[in-house]
Amino acid sequence: MKPRVSLITLGVDDLQRALTFYRDGLGLPTEGIIGEQFENGAVAFFDLQPGLRLAVWPRKSLAKDSGLPLGAASATEISLAHNVSSRAEVDEVMDQAKAAGAVVVKPAQNTFWGGYAGYFQDPDGHLWEVAWNPEMLPGD
């Protein structure tokens, strides 16, 4: 397998709420909800960095498509990390997420590995880390 990820899909309980959070609250670019004409097809895609998109898709649709039973959501099975260029930017993004309706589960603070980071959960409980890591600064 070539090390290439092009899409990250988050299962959500309320597609419209997820769209509003990521588009209006976090400012991620999107065309909105598409695929509503298909059974279990409604989804929203958000452009991240070149070659990578985030999708939000109803959990029941993801379960049906994969053939797995719909299970209980768990916030600690995966976390997405958003690396930024400064400590101040960590605080800005955490404030933006909170204003958009996220729950701050760990306020930004100095880390054991020499950085600065905090965690929030989106309205469906998905865990996001916002971090300034002096060893992994973003290219932009």
Domain range list for the chain: 7-66, 79-132
Checking if the pLDDT of 139 tops 90, the result is no
Q: Count of residues for the chain?
A: 140
Percent of residues, the chain, with pLDDT higher than 90: 86
Mean pLDDT across the stretch 6-30? 97
Split at pLDDT 50, 70, 90, the class of 70 is very high
Nearest Cα neighbor of 132 from 99, 94, 96 is 94
Mean pLDDT across the stretch 119-124? 97
Mean pLDDT across the stretch 93-114? 97
Q: Assign domain 79-132 to its CATH superfamily.
A: 2,3-Dihydroxybiphenyl 1,2-Dioxygenase, domain 1 (3.10.180.10)
Q: Are the folds of 7-66 and 79-132 the same?
A: yes
Which of the two residues, 82 and 4, has the higher pLDDT score?
A: 82
The average confidence (pLDDT) of the chain is 95
Split at pLDDT 50, 70, 90, the class of 1 is confident
- pLDDT, residue 136, reads 87
- pLDDT, residue 75, reads 87
Checking if the pLDDT of 36 tops 90, the result is yes
In CATH, the number for domain 7-66 is 3.10.180.10
